[in-house]
């Protein structure tokens, strides 16, 4: 490590300081009313978040992983049902398919946008396929027209994994409003992040919303009345109150991320060997991750670490190649784009409070990489 000041990958404390008095007041209000589990703060946030996404219902839960599990359970996934999802995502997207009783079918990702490769999608549909989970990875929407066309043709449901894509848009329409349901994570580092774990599902389908809420709350909405066996996956009052405060800033934070991303791209595209993020037509990317590609990624990441720049790799091993999926015996040739990308991608520091000097510092560090 050099003695240069570190440019952090994210700075959650800077975000807290920028809204400290509102956060502190919100926490105090919850403590004063002891509304720790569900209660008015959770109900208010559910309404606010449904409105922000443009969906009729929001079912909050403990995290974005449970959100996927609850959504698939609510849709009645049955043993042996096949669900197609992105080969390059966080393991939550695929592990929950198995947990809900389904079989994971991986689809390669697009080489440039890292979202599900719609040119291959339909070839994976079998008589056992019931649904598709596109992931709006890094904050860039998947090609939802193409996903929805395959889904409509084969009568499949679509759950959008929006964990990294709060407020992202496809053809002027917000992600989370295309599929029958969409799942969100409010993990602290997400574009809308709690101060602990939190998640939600949105849907326009009232029946599905009810089934999901019941399942997430021990199988019943009223204590002592359990219609089914469920799980305990609740958003707590403190997180809900914090999320309500932060939601008011989400639009301006998103704009800030987009501005920082343009500054990065304008400068980095002049540096040999760096491939800046490619934004497909009609997509509004919200840059949860600012992910570049480089042929010598590991050397570059090492150089950046020595220069005091924190980076992250999202994700270094695509899902089919993880030991967790060894049982499928997948080969690199089946997922050529995900396989090629996994060793080339690196995510640079990206957070709304990032200063111009910090962007400049990252760019200079990359420019000084002996290429
Ligand atoms: C694409 C994706 N899906 C699902 C999740 C799961 O969310 P959580 O960490 O809140 O369980 C994440 C979060 O890391 C994610 O990035």
Q: Is 142 in the pocket of ligand 1 (CB under 6 A)?
A: no
- Contact 50/167 with Cβ under 8 angstroms? no
- Whose structure tokens read 């598709």? 132
Which residues on adjacent β-strands are paired with residue 199? 61, 185
Q: pLDDT by residue for the chain (371 residues), tens digit each? A: 445 559 999 999 999 999 999 999 999 999 999 999 999 999 999 999 999 999 999 999 999 999 999 999 999 999 999 999 999 999 999 999 999 999 999 999 999 999 999 999 999 999 999 999 999 999 999 999 999 999 999 999 999 999 999 999 999 999 999 999 999 999 999 999 999 999 999 999 999 999 999 999 999 999 889 999 999 999 999 999 999 999 999 999 999 999 999 999 999 999 999 999 999 999 999 999 999 999 999 999 999 999 999 999 999 999 999 999 999 999 999 999 999 999 999 999 999 999 999 999 999 999 999 97
CA of 92 to the centre of ligand 1 (A): 6
The reply to whether ligand 1 has any atom less than 6 angstroms from the CB of 89 is: yes
pTM score, two decimals?
Answer: 0.97
Beta carbon of 115 within 6 Å of any ligand 1 atom = no
For position 354, what pLDDT does the model report? 98
Return the bridge partners of 8, or none: none
Ligand 1 site-directed mutation target among 10, 62, 63, 65, most atoms within 8 Å of CB: 65
124, exposed or middle or buried, with CB in 10 Å at 0-12, 13-18, 19+?
A: middle
CA distance 3 to 224: 60
- Ligand 1 near 41 CB (within 6 A): no
The gap from C-alpha 9 to its chain's centroid, in whole angstroms, comes to 17
Distance CA 9, CA 311 (A): 6
Q: Which helix (H) or strand (E) holds 291?
A: strand 290-293
Triad 247, 250, 252: Cα angle to 5°:
140
Regarding the beta carbon of 86 and ligand 1, being less than 6 Å apart is answered no
The pLDDT assigned to 1 comes to 44
d(CA 134, CA 147): 8
């Amino acid at each position: 490590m050099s003695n240069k000041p570190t440019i952090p990958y994210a700075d959650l404390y800077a975000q807290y300081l920028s809204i400290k008095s509102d956060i502190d007041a919100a926490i105090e209000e919850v403590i004063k009313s002891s509304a720790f589990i569900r209660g008015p703060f959770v109900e208010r946030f559910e309404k606010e978040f449904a409105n922000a996404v443009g969906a009729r219902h929001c079912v909050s839960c403990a995290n974005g992983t449970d959100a996927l599990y609850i959504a698939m359970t609510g849709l009645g996934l049955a043993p042996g049902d096949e669900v197609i999802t992105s080969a390059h995502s966080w393991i939550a997207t695929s592990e929950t398919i198995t947990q809900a009783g389904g079989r994971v079918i991986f689809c390669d990702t697009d080489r440039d946008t890292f979202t599900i490769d719609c040119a291959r999608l339909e070839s994976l549909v079998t008589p056992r396929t019931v649904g598709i989970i596109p992931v709006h990875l890094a904050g860039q929407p998947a090609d939802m027209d193409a996903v929805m066309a395959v889904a409509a043709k084969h009568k499949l449901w679509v759950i959008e994994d929006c964990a990294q894509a709060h407020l992202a848009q496809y053809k002027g329409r917000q992600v989370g409003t295309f599929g029958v349901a969409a799942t969100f994570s409010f993990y602290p580092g997400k574009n809308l992040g709690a101060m602990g774990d939190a998640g939600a599902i949105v849907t326009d389908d009232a029946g599905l919303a009810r089934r999901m809420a019941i399942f997430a709350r021990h199988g019943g909405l009223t204590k002592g009345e359990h219609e089914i066996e469920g799980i305990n996956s609740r958003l707590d009052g403190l997180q809900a109150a914090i999320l309500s405060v932060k939601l008011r800033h989400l639009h301006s934070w998103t704009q800030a991320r987009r501005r920082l991303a343009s500054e990065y791209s304008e400068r980095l595209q002049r540096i040999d060997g760096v491939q800046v993020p490619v934004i497909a037509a009609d997509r509004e990317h919200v840059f949860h991750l600012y992910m570049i590609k480089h042929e010598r990624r590991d050397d570059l990441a090492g150089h950046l670490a020595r220069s005091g720049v924190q980076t992250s790799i999202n994700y270094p091993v695509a899902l089919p190649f993880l030991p967790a999926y060894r049982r499928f015996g997948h080969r690199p040739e089946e997922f050529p784009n995900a396989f090629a990308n996994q060793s080339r991608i690196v995510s640079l520091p990206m957070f709304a409070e990032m200063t111009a000097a910090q962007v400049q510092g990252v760019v200079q560090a990359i420019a000084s990489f002996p290429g």
